Amino acid sequence: MTSECSIVTVEHQPTVVVKAKVPFAEIPQAQRAARAKIDAGLPALYTGALGRTLTRWLPPSGGALDMEMGTIVTRRIEARGEIVPSELPAGRAAHTVMVGPFDGMGAAWQTLFEWCQAEKLKPAGINWEVYGPTPSDPAKQETYLYALLS
């Protein structure tokens, strides 16, 4: 289930990520692998307080997404192997909240992009999702979707 869409102002946030170009069919495995690398590497990095996990992505090309899978942090880090610094941008963004299991993500993004089109808003091509706490019931999982606007 997707909540109503709206325009929000977002602040710049530093992130720690693993970057990858991922074919659609491999997204769940790539997410798990990247999160394992981040979890293993974080204790050796001074990131400040940890925020929620996220995935930042660009529009698909060649059946794959350029993805950054990681965690919001309070300070930038130096790259260490595959774990690199990045950021979530500041600006105006189209936003919605998806409640439910991750297999509904495609439909939630479609809803957000269709809303942008109906409102005559132009996405800038930088999109991200921030994951709420993982409940014991996947039907209650909250995922916050953002599409930066031009």
The whole-angstrom distance between residue 91's C-alpha and the CA centroid of its chain comes to 16
- pLDDT for 95-118, tens place per residue? 999 999 988 889 999 999 999 999
Question: Could you confirm whether domain 6-149 is CATH 3.20.80.10?
Answer: yes
Tens digit of each residue's pLDDT (9 = 90 or more) over 17-29: 999 999 999 999 9
| 92, pLDDT greater than 90 | yes
Q: Which of 27-36, 43-52, 92-101, 120-129 has the lowest mean pLDDT?
A: 43-52
pTM: 0.92
Cα distance between residue 69 and residue 34, in whole Å: 6
Report pLDDT digits (tens) over 110-149: 999 999 999 999 999 999 999 998 878 888 999 999 999 9
> The dihedral of CA 146, 37, 44, 58: what is its sign?
negative
Could you state, in order of their start, the residue ranges of all structural domains in the chain?
6-149
